[in-house]
Amino acid sequence: MSISVTIDGNHPSQTRPLINVYQMLVEDETDHALRPTDPTQLRAYARAAQHAMRHAAPKNTQGANRTGWHLWESFLLEIGGPNTPSLRQPDPSGHLRERLLKAMFLLWCRTKCKSTIPGRVDVKPSTLLGHLYAVKRVHEANGLEFLTRGQSSQLINALTHEYELIHGPEALMPHKREGFTPRMVRRLLRAVDGLELKTRKHPTIVARSWLAYNIKGAISLAGNAGFRQSEITTMEHAEFTAMQMSRASLFFVIKGNVKRTPSRTELMSMVEGDKVGVLAACAKNDRWAFNFMPFPVIMGIHPTEPDDPATNLRDLVLHCPVPANQLRRTPLFTMSPSGAPLGYNFLTQVLKTLLAVVLPPDLAAQYT
């Protein structure tokens, strides 16, 4: 596994391996050591295996590992000096030292990490423990044991009790957000046209524009079919890949016949009884789309109803056409005819602005 560190909110710096797998194999002196005739082949496979192991964890786990490891390195530099190794070798004689080191890391993190909840300074103890477990995962990825069970429970219990005394026991409850009801989805859709945003590139969502159709399609799909925002968008500056939902994910059932690439005439002829279908792609709870892909989401279309979600998806295909041979290469929702994917952060800003338009501030904070 290799680690990349994000400095000052910029893109991750170039990754560097924590251990040299090839060098470790070459220096092996045991009876099971590898002695290849062609060392270059061993080097190539060792690097490929290390690369695959690095990308085995989900992206959110990799992000947590980077954050935790960056904190761990900063902590050791401050508390132990520049020569203190970040990867801690199992050492029975230093058991007490390593146990104290982990407890000190938790306390150090509490002084460095800031809460994302307005009005609170301290982060939840469970957040601190998550950073320690991230360090544990990095050690395990490098073949090193890094015990945490029982090592830090007493300290976490003490910090939790202190957190309750300061913020109240309800502060430890999960921060619940409400999903969109069908009525709320329609209210959001009605507010898209002419919406003013605080961005120079898109200060206003022009009615019946390419961007407006795609925003309405994204809200319709997420609100009506339960897709997560991260599943229907692409993170800014990230490359669109075949693992994400594309325009090929949409299909139509017109007069009982499945149409993957319906003509404009067929789309305009859709009536009550026709349907819009969506194939699920990779998700947080289905990394390879094995479970959900065989069972598409089917939505009945109601063209006469205002702000009907299925009709908005039909209109997306009708007014933002994509050539049949480019459907799989085109993100499901795009910013413009050039095919640039609808950005995660941009859609977040749109939704936040829409909620502020249709709801009072105290109610808007309950939705995501």
Which of 325, 223, 345 is closest to 335 using CA atoms?
Answer: 345
Contact 22, 51 (CB under 8 A): no
More confident residue, 5 or 181: 181
Confidence of residue 44 (pLDDT cuts 50, 70, 90): very high
pLDDT for residue 16: 57
pLDDT for residue 336: 96
pLDDT (tens digit per residue) in 175-193: 666 778 889 999 999 999 9
What mean pLDDT is reported for the chain? 88
Contact 214, 320 (CB under 8 A): yes
pLDDT (tens digit per residue) in 254-294: 999 999 999 999 999 999 999 999 999 888 788 888 888 89
Which of 318, 340, 353 is closest to 332 using CA atoms?
Answer: 340
Q: Which amino acid would we find at residue 85?
A: P
Report d(CA 349, CA 193) in Å as an integer: 15
pLDDT (tens digit per residue) in 213-258: 999 999 999 988 888 898 999 999 889 998 899 999 999 999 999 9
Residues in a beta bridge with 258: 253
Looking at the predicted structure, is the pLDDT value of residue 2 above 60? no
Q: CB 231: neighbour CB atoms within 10 A?
A: 18
Confidence of residue 4 (pLDDT cuts 50, 70, 90): very low
pLDDT for residue 17: 61
More confident residue, 330 or 12: 330
Looking at the predicted structure, is the pLDDT value of residue 13 above 60? no
pLDDT (tens digit per residue) in 310-337: 999 999 999 999 999 999 999 999 999 9
Looking at the predicted structure, is the pLDDT value of residue 205 above 60? yes
Looking at the predicted structure, is the pLDDT value of residue 58 above 90? no
pLDDT (tens digit per residue) in 88-132: 988 888 888 998 999 999 999 999 998 887 778 889 999 999 999
pLDDT (tens digit per residue) in 16-32: 567 788 888 989 999 99
- Per-residue 3-state assignment (H helix, E strand, C coil) for the chain: CEECCCCCCCCCCCCEECCCHHHHHHCCCCCCCCCCCCHHHHHHHHHHHHHHHHCCCCHHHHHHHHHHHHHHHHHHHHHHCCCCCCCCCCCHHHHHHHHHHHHHHHHHHHHHCCCCCCCCCCCCHHHHHHHHHHHHHHHHHCCCCCCCCCCCHHHHHHHHHHHHHHHCHHHHCCCCCECCCHHHHHHHHHCCCCCECCCCCCCECCCCCHHHHHHHHHHHHHHHHCCCHHHHCECCCCCCCCCCCEHHHEEEEECCEEECCCCHHHHHCCCECEEEEECCCCECCECCCCCCCCCCEEEECCCCCCCCHHHHHHHHHHHCCCCHHHCCCCECCECCCCCCECEHHHHHHHHHHHHHHHCCHHHHCCEC
More confident residue, 169 or 94: 94
Beta-strand pair 297-300/275-278 = antiparallel
